[in-house]
Amino acid sequence: MKIDKKLIKELNDYLNEFNLTEIEYTNKDTKIKVSKSNISNSNKVLSVATSPSTSIKEIPKNETGTEVKSPIIGTAYHSPEPGAKKFSEVGKKIKKGETIMIVEAMKTMNHVPSTVDGIIKEICVEDGQPVEYGQTIIIVE
């Protein structure tokens, strides 16, 4: 497989232009993921990985419970502000439409409502963790 250096450079430029930490490009059987992370205050590392698209990471399915998924890409927060009471805790009874988490995207705080009534069985993301569209954030029983 030939690596398209021009495409990788273009993806890296998008990272800087849009202040992203990760970007992924998929085309037929090729998947290119470019990401950078802060190791210290100002040192940045650029890593590039290519792999066939058949190696998609699957999250194991739960046998019981309903998965509530993130409606957008962003950063998940368990409470409205640092130190405040959390929206969701394991064992808490919730109603459909009740806020279970906030996903921040582009400096906008988006409240994520529960899609079902029930009891929270599992919280699948850490506070401050990046989430993808469609990623399971909690499981309600």
Residue 61 lies in a domain: no
pTM above 0.85, yes or no: no
Percent of the chain that is helix, strand, coil (3-state, to 5): 10, 40, 50
Same domain, 130 and 104: yes
pLDDT at residue 70 above 80?
A: yes
Select, from the ranges 22-36, 54-68, 111-125, the one with the highest average predicted confidence (pLDDT): 111-125
Give mean pLDDT, residues 80-96: 89
- The domain that contains 106 carries what CATH number? 2.40.50.100
Q: How far is CA 53 from CA 5, 6, 47, in A?
A: 19, 20, 18
Domain around 17: 5-51
